[in-house]
Amino acid sequence: MTGGTATATQPPQPVRHAVIFDLDGVLVDSFAVMYEAFAIAYKEVVGDGPAPFDEYRRHLGRYFPDIMRIMGLPLEMEEPFVRESYRLASQVPVFDGIVELLTTLRVRGLRLAVATGKSGQRARSLLDQLGLLPFFDHVIGSDEVARPKPAPDIVEHALDLMGFLPEQAIMVGDAPTDIASAHGAGVTSAGALWALSEAEELLAAEPAVVLARPTDLLALCPSVPGN
């Protein structure tokens, strides 16, 4: 070798073409509405006494019937829970910075999808009511895949619909189930902290990156070449 100093070169990073978002706790702050709907459903089906919402919240990201089975609660709670969730949907706020984030990602040429523990119909209805639905190419619910989170099916389905490889996408979630689903699909996982008062369980799931606020994601998603 003649002249100069050899420097190590890093392999080129794959260009990200897509972002897959969880819904509750990432795009919208639905916990107050979720608590009210859960409390009403519990009282109607189970009876008096405090509804175990703290335990329910630990399982978020899973499909509602799966959570009921894990908690040993009646599956009949789903009907009033869904009914009340629809009734209260207009009270769900969008997190600060989300509209700015989604707008910028679309301008940069990225494709966007939602992969949620909700049913697909309820997720699309909520996003439509909040004015967010036009940002997304696909909104996939847990009832629309064979195995909901923490299985990788819902993330893999989003990739298939958008026509991208796992290394071309990133998944943003606030629950260990989101991170597990991303890991299983081979997609880069990003842990969203802005809705969490305690982040230990999310961090224990080992997301590849951690985001303190929605717009932190922009540093990981530059413009798609040719856009």
**Other Cβ atoms within 10 Å of 77 Cβ, number:** 24
Catalytic residue among 24, 153, 174, 178: 24
Catalytic residue among 22, 29, 153, 178: 22
Q: Is 24 a catalytic residue?
A: yes
Q: Label residue 226 left, alpha or beta by phi (over 0 means left) and psi (-120 to 50 means alpha).
A: left
Amino acid identity of residue 222, one-letter, is P
Structure tokens at 116: 């949620």
Choose among 89, 77, 18, 10: nearest CA to 46: 77
Q: Is 22 a catalytic residue?
A: yes
* Helix axis angle, 176-185 to 153-162, nearest 10°: 60
Structure tokens at 168: 């071309």
CA 64, distance to chain mean position in Å, is 15
In whole angstroms, give the CA distance from residue 202 to residue 210.
10
The residues annotated as belonging to the active site are: 22, 24
